[in-house]
A and B are shown apart, each in its own frame.
Chain A
């Protein structure tokens, strides 16, 4: 494996993280750091465990029966994979956006205000502010500010995806997990989402799963190449894409570029 055991832990990192479905080991003992204000791209062929790995970072796999996790996920010195963790509170710190936009069947406004309201933000003015700032951060405000009461389902696919990003931002997460967030979008929307990711990394750390090598090269600072549940290579994106250590990484990247 490419990295040695770190002496000082990053404030967000995994340590020997393994995920099993029954007896099948989908993710095999992966240790990865995620630095503040960076975008880390997880790449690799389908079924290599990168999405499973991503989902485990906010313990979304808990809900799948028969899945078990070993190892640690450290956030600010606390292992959130330990059994005593309050998973629900944890998830508030870690936002997530999926491949397919999944806005709630509610108005645009309520999509954003729902989370903060639940977590105790009171008063219309405070909520209005959160809605506006979240939508602005997701570069959607100008397009929807006049129809906040409309259904979120009436938005286009690209707008819906940015709404989902705004929704994730509404509860002030420290980490944003993106699972192929642009793969279902048209090129223009994809461009907007990529632009957004670059801006958002100024405020938080982002982990993104993508099949699109150009996208990984464009937006990420670090790249991790997964193969059959193992971490094959991890380094600065520049390095991985121009001069990978591992033959397999090179072949995969070249193949995907070609």
Chain B
């Protein structure tokens, strides 16, 4: 083949493959949303699932997913901030830093099912917390923590180093500089990253099957006493999430409308992730303007 012809053919192949990926995404999203939207209604989103009859909803599962996400973020964010700040501002090049970096890398590479199994051994059995929201939240913490560390470290690294110098020259302690000068600058990036990671947490199932469990007790949404077993807020009750529910319905669902329920639940899951993605972009910009009190910066 002549070079010119080869060039044209190769370009055509590259463009075709690239557009194929776009087509895959569009058809994926289209399929999930169109198939699922038909099934989504207020009733579907709020009512409890049915075991063998049609017409069940995903209300408790949706609530569990959101509640678990909040619990996970409450635990993960402070821990990730601490370790990330250490890596960005305190760690000096050397063996210890390399070791911690390796730990973060390995932890983030573990398959989520391994994280779930570890949760089963340590939290569910050894700590005897059983299949519960709190077990699930801890497992998700192991799963999300390395990402949070990276997000924090990268966010702090983008802060100009002159900011730190200015703080030093005023006679501030290093920790004060980190928390009051650098953190506000890094926060928009951290928040954007956190929201994106929240999407990942929201859709996670493998780490939860053996920690938060695959069932949800009958919830009484008028009972807000966190110690009562039927209260939605009780952190020690089992809590099947939306993602786990999709898996369960697909693999062992007995209800005649199992596929529709899976479709509806998938659409809810994907929509939530889409919203998280958009929110991450928007909120990052908004908070930046707020914290820097700037009007002209974008």
Contact = CB atoms under 8 A, between A and B. Distances in A.
Interface of A: 58, 60, 63, 65, 88-96, 98, 100, 102-107, 110, 114-115, 118-119, 149-151, 153-154, 164, 167-168, 170-171
A92 B294 contact: no
Nearest to A170: B170
A65 B165 contact: no
25 contacts: A58-B169, A60-B165, A60-B168, A60-B169, A91-B171, A96-B165, A96-B169, A98-B166, A102-B160, A102-B165, A103-B166, A104-B167, A106-B292, A106-B293, A118-B170, A118-B171, A118-B176, A149-B293, A150-B295, A151-B292, A151-B293, A151-B296, A154-B296, A167-B170, A168-B169
A44 to B, nearest CB: 22
Contact of B170 (A63, A65, A115, A151): A115
Nearest to B187: A105
Contact of B163 (A90, A105, A151, A170): A105
A96 B171 CA distance: 11
B162 A151 contact: no
Interface in B168-218: 168-173, 176, 180-181, 184-185
A65 B160 contact: no
Interface size class of B (residues with CB under 8 A): 20 to 34
Contact of B297 (A96, A103, A154): A154
B119 to A, nearest CB: 39
B291 interface: yes
B166 A153 contact: no
B293 A63 contact: no
B172 A88 contact: yes
Nearest to B172: A118
Nearest to B159: A105
A104 B169 contact: no
B166 A151 contact: no
Given A100-B162, A106-B184, A154-B294, A95 B169 contact: yes
Contacts of B176: 118
B92 interface: yes
A91 B169 CA distance: 5
Contacts of A105: 163, 184-185, 291-292, 294
Contacts of A150: 293-295
A89 B171 contact: yes
Given A102-B165, A102-B166, A118-B176, 17 more contacts: A60-B169, A63-B164, A65-B93, A88-B173, A89-B171, A90-B171, A96-B165, A96-B169, A98-B165, A105-B291, A106-B292, A151-B292, A151-B293, A151-B295, A154-B294, A154-B296, A167-B166
Contacts of B162: 98, 100, 102
A114 B295 contact: no
B181 A153 contact: no
Contacts of B180: 114
Interface in B122-169: 160, 162-169
A135 B169 CA distance: 18
A180 to B, nearest CB: 13
Nearest to B171: A92
A63 B89 CA distance: 11
Interface in B35-75: none
Contacts of B185: 105
Contacts of A119: 171
Contacts of A118: 170-172, 176
Nearest to B166: A102
A176 to B, nearest CB: 10
A110 B181 CA distance: 11
Contacts of A153: 292, 294, 296-297
Contact of B171 (A65, A110, A151, A171): A171
A249 B78 CA distance: 56
Contacts of B293: 106-107, 110, 149-151
A91 B184 contact: no
A156 B61 CA distance: 53
A150 B169 CA distance: 23
Contacts of B160: 102
B163 A114 contact: no
Interface string B254-298: 000000000000000000000000000000000000011111110
Interface in B78-118: 92-93
A27 B283 CA distance: 48
A114 B297 contact: no
